[in-house]
Amino acid sequence: MDLVSLKLSELLHCGHLGRISGLTIGTKWLFEELQLLVFICSFMVAAPIFGYLGDRFNRKVILSCGIFFWSIVTLSSSFISKEYYWLFVLSRGLVGIGESSYSSISPTIIGDLFTNNSRTMMLSVFYLAIPLGSGLGYILGSSAKEAAGDWHWALRVSPVLGITAGTLILLFVPEPKRGSADQMGGRIKTRTSWFCDMKALAKNRSYVFSSFASAAVSFATGAFGMWIPLYLARAQVVQKTAEPCTQEICSSTDSIIFGVITCVTGLLGVVIGAATTRLCRQKTERADPLVCAVSMLGSAIFICLIFVVAKKSIVGAYVCIFIGETLLFLNWAITADILMFVVIPTRRATAVAFQSFTSHLLGDAGSPYLIGLISDALQQSYATSALWRFLSLGYALMLCPFIIVLGGMFFLATALFFLDDREKAEKQVTRAPLA
């Protein structure tokens, strides 16, 4: 029941994001981006705070309070009229605060309930909720909107489910002792200061390199989610299979197809990643970072091919997107598992929080805007050319595979230090004074 409750909460967490994206079709693009920016910024700022709290206080209480908070904020925002759009944007920031509490703490509870291959499998099941929740968010949000004839009702479905999930966590999810799965539950009673924790994490090479690699994944996914649908729409104009959109609001077909592909590839990536890692661990103890590195480098190849084939074949581009994203998403659960191996239990919430902070700060918080700026700069010379609008965006997006390759290099660096850092963590646990 404990894992089911945690997974349900993650489904609702990710479904909330997907639902908001679906509902903003038909509103101004700038308003949508402002919501996303406010959400990401509030998430980044709040995550380190909840990481600190999660290493020192009752985790399931903090986690449940975060779920209750964003559920209530989401429900309340459904009653905001369009005259107070700024209040709606502010509510996205409050949702980010609530969800950061959840995202920083949940993996650490799973880390203290399971170990080794079992932990990898359970983290994989947990992270399956990311793509599945996004897909369900679109479905539930759209269904509620159509059934009620009012988009506000799309924001009134998940709060009920969120409060249910939070209640289930309080009632059924145990609060395991930190390190119980590592046979150190009850050993470490005196926790080090926050500065000492941060100093230790900064010296943990596997943690640092895997965090940078995670930021590379976030950079690519953030840029793709924003610009790939538009890139494919421009490709169809170049192929003369579609007319240029001169209206403020254009067809969302490419966005929907891309969203479906992202959900499916997310599911496949997590499953394949868990199975591959489990198999490779029989051959090498460095399997976790090596699987991530190979998948990232393979992903970069197929993502590069998107920009080669898109001019001639949209179907070919979608095939490359499918394979590239599947390989890119292989490392979602594995990265969390690497963190569990190399960070001692009493620092894991802080480590997860700052890994999320780094991923957003260096990743999707700025990548969509950077790609847009590069594309606009390239487009200035031939602003009226449909072909050049297509090519300029493609050239800008070519930055993504280079960042992905860099992420693969970071995972290779992680592999170099993984065994040493894991051994250091194990020794620190073993030498901890008995309570």
pLDDT tens-digit profile of 149-176?
A: 766 777 777 788 888 888 888 888 777 7
In this structure, what is the dihedral angle of CA atoms 192, 116, 338, 175, given to the nearest 10 degrees?
Answer: -40
Query: What is the widest separation between alpha-carbon atoms in the chain?
Result: 72
Per-residue pLDDT at 435 = 43
According to the model, what pLDDT value does residue 208 have? 96
Q: Does residue 190 register a pLDDT over 60? A: no
Tell me the pLDDT band of 110, cut-offs 50, 70 and 90.
Answer: confident
Stretch 401-407: mean pLDDT? 95
Answer whether residue 19 shows pLDDT above 50.
no
Mean pLDDT, to the nearest integer, of 192-197? Answer: 83
Highest mean pLDDT among 164-168, 205-209, 345-349, 372-376: 205-209
Does the pLDDT at position 99 exceed 90?
A: no
Q: Return the number of other C-beta atoms located less than 10 Å from residue 174's C-beta.
A: 12
Where does residue 384 rank: exposed (0-12), middle (13-18), buried (19+ CB within 10 A)? exposed
pTM of structure:
0.80
Residue written as token pair 């599947």: 326
Phi, psi of 385 (to 5 degrees): -90, 120
Helix (H) or strand (E) holding 6: helix 2-23
Q: What is the pLDDT at residue 247?
A: 55
The average pLDDT across 281-290 equals 92
Q: What is the CATH number of the domain that holds 359?
A: 1.20.1250.20
- 29-46 pLDDT tens trace: 455 566 667 777 777 778
Count CB neighbours of 30 within 10 A.
8
Percent of the chain with pLDDT over 70: 80
Highest mean pLDDT among 106-115, 253-262, 275-284: 275-284
* pLDDT (0 to 100) of residue 209: 96
**Which pairs count as long-range contacts for 72-76, CB under 8 Å and 24+ apart, including other chains?**
72/159, 73/98, 74/16, 74/155, 74/158, 74/159, 74/162, 75/155, 75/156, 75/159
Between residues 245 and 387, which one has the greater pLDDT? 387
310-354 pLDDT per residue, tens: 888 889 999 999 999 999 988 888 998 899 899 988 888 889 888
CA–CA distance, 227 with 222 (Å, rounded to integer): 9
pLDDT at 17 over 50: no
Distance (Å, rounded) from C-alpha 205 to C-alpha 191?
22
Please give the pLDDT value at position 5: 43
Checking if the pLDDT of 308 tops 80, the result is: yes
Residue 224 Cα to chain centre, angstroms: 13
DSSP state of 278: H
- The CB density around residue 258, as the number of other CB atoms within 10 Å, is 20
**What confidence score (pLDDT) does residue 193 get?**
81
Split at pLDDT 50, 70, 90, the class of 298 is very high
Radius of gyration, alpha carbons of the chain:
22
| Domain carrying residue 197 | 3-431
Cα–Cα dist 167/276, whole Å: 35
| Predicted confidence (pLDDT) at residue 11 exceeds the cutoff of 50 | no
% of the chain surpassing 90 pLDDT: 23
Inter-CA distances, 143 with 21, 22, 150, 154, 312, Å: 14, 11, 10, 8, 36
How does residue 383 score in pLDDT terms, banded at 50, 70 and 90?
low
Helix (H, G, I), strand (E, B) or coil at 58: coil
What SS3 class is residue 435?
coil
Number of domains forming the structure of the chain: 1
Confidence class for position 118, pLDDT limits 50, 70, 90: confident
Give the model's pLDDT for residue 421: 93
> What single string gives the DSSP state of each residue in 125-145?
HHHTHHHHHHHHHHHHHHHHH
What is the mean pLDDT of the segment spanning 56-84? 82
What does the pLDDT average to over 7-16? 44
Residue tagged 């969509």 (tokens): 368
pLDDT reading at 217 higher than 50: yes
The answer to whether the CB of 170 falls within 8 A of the CB of 82 is no
The pLDDT of residue 404:
96
Give the model's pLDDT for residue 96. 78
| pLDDT band (50, 70, 90) for residue 181 | low
Residue 22, pLDDT score: 35
Is 368's pLDDT higher than 80?
yes
* Helices 205-238, 399-430: inter-axial angle, 10-degree rounding: 160
pLDDT of the residue at 205: 95
Averaged over 264-276, what is the pLDDT?
88
